[in-house]
Amino acid sequence: MMSDSRNEEPVVPKDWYEDAFGAFYPVIYAHRTVESAAKEAAFAAAQTQLSSGDTLLDLCCGNGRHLAHLVPRAGRSVGVDYSPPLLRLAHCNAPGALLLRADMRALPFVEYFNVVVNFFTSFGYFTEDRDNRAVLSAMCQVLRPQGRYFLDYLNPVHVETELHPHTTRHLGKYRIEENRWIDRAARRVNKVTQVWLHGDCVAQTTESVRMYSLDEMEAMLVGAGLEIDRIFGDYDGASFFNDRPRMIIIGHRGRHGA
């Protein structure tokens, strides 16, 4: 049994992602359903001009909720994730895709994909900038010349102004407590989630994401060989501004990529 420590800011382990996407992840993010991903997947497919002649990679595919909608649009689809429990769910949600477990910094493909998509702020996980840059380099490496990418990331300015330090919600028999804070020295937004059942904390997970500015993202993308074509602030196609919740970047592999 764990104690309720909502007023404390625990030390976030560097390898937080090793345990964050386990058995209780589908409980914590139960509202992120296959159905709710339909609009986002359609937007990504339109922006990357995904077609039946394309080979697609969903990088950090999670439970396959976006991949479920993208498989029918692509000729061949691959989902990569680091979490075995989520990959098992993806097998059910996106049965037409090839699913692999891999580290997003070192992908086992070279110039194989026409399109790479990355949803739901699955970038900025690593403490060292060089590791986050390695993810972009890996994306470039797996793309064919002029291949397209779709990167759905947070808007750090919006996070700073709209962050809710503490929220409580209920899902069936569970109470879910979420505590968020910004580590300004490290430029990271952190979250500790506790899942409570009958007065006991039955699970606790930590998440931490580096908050890169648009200028920083542009520099890293171009440095990795990825050109930028368009930037949106949300899935409604709105332009990117500080008051928009997302930083959605669409582009292609440049001539000197990989």
Mean pLDDT in the chain?
A: 95
- What is the structure's pLDDT at 253? 98
Query: 35-155+212-253 in CATH: which number?
Result: 3.40.50.150
Beta strands per DSSP E along the chain: 55-59, 76-81, 98-101, 113-118, 143-154, 166-171, 174-183, 188-197, 200-210, 226-232, 246-253
Report how many helices (DSSP H) and strands (DSSP E) the chain contains, helices first: 8, 11
Across the range 146-175, mean pLDDT stands at: 97
Across the range 169-179, mean pLDDT stands at: 97
- What is the structure's pLDDT at 55? 98
Question: What percent of the chain is modeled with pLDDT above 90?
Answer: 94
Across the range 122-137, mean pLDDT stands at: 98
Q: Give the integer Cα–Cα distance in Å for 256 and 2.
A: 52
Q: Give the integer Cα–Cα distance in Å for 187 and 160.
A: 11
Q: What is the pTM of this model?
A: 0.94
- What is the structure's pLDDT at 56? 98
Across the range 58-73, mean pLDDT stands at: 98
- What is the structure's pLDDT at 258? 62
pLDDT in tens, 179-230: 999 999 999 999 999 999 999 999 999 999 999 999 999 999 999 999 999 9
Across the range 119-139, mean pLDDT stands at: 98
Is pLDDT of 157 > 50?
Answer: yes
Is pLDDT of 1 > 80?
Answer: no
- What is the structure's pLDDT at 237? 97
- What is the structure's pLDDT at 6? 47
Amino acid sitting at position 228: I
pLDDT in tens, 85-117: 999 999 999 999 999 999 999 999 999 999 999
Q: How confident is the model at residue 134 (pLDDT cuts 50, 70, 90)?
A: very high
- What is the structure's pLDDT at 4? 46
- What is the structure's pLDDT at 257? 66
- What is the structure's pLDDT at 9? 73
Both tokens of 21, joined, read 């996407």
Amino acid sitting at position 93: N
- What is the structure's pLDDT at 11? 85
Residues 6+ apart with CB under 8 A from 257: 140, 143, 145, 224, 225, 226
pLDDT in tens, 25-62: 999 999 999 999 999 999 999 999 999 999 999 999 99
- What is the structure's pLDDT at 2? 42
